Amino acid sequence: MSNLAHIKYSPLVDRMKKESGDRSNPIWLLINPKYPAVLYDIWTPILYEIQNIVYRKLRARIDTENIFIKNAVSDIGIVSKNANNSAVDLAEERMMLKESLLKHQPKILITFGTITYELVRRVCELRPEEGPNYWSTTNLGNEFERSIANFDINQINRIPLPRRVMRNDKFIEEFDDFSWERNEAYFREVGAKIADRIIENKDSLKIWI
pLDDT tens figures, 148-169: 999 999 999 999 997 655 444 3
Return the pLDDT at 204. Answer: 95
Q: 18-204: which CATH number, 3.10.590, 3.40.470, 3.40.50, 3.90.320?
A: 3.40.470
Q: How far is CA 113 from the centre of its chain?
A: 8
Whether residue 14 is predicted with pLDDT greater than 80 in this model: the reply is no
Please indicate, yes or no, whether the overall pTM of this predicted structure exceeds 0.85: no
Contact status, residue 70 vs residue 23, Cβ threshold 8 Å: no
Return the pLDDT at 11. Answer: 43
Cα–Cα distance, 120 to 67 (Å, whole number): 18
Whether residue 65 is predicted with pLDDT greater than 70 in this model: the reply is yes
| Domain chopping of the chain, boundaries | 18-204
pLDDT 10s digits, 69-118? 998 765 545 454 444 445 556 677 778 888 899 999 999 999 998 888 88
User: What average pLDDT score do residues 116-137 get?
Assistant: 72
Strand partners of residue 108 = 27, 157
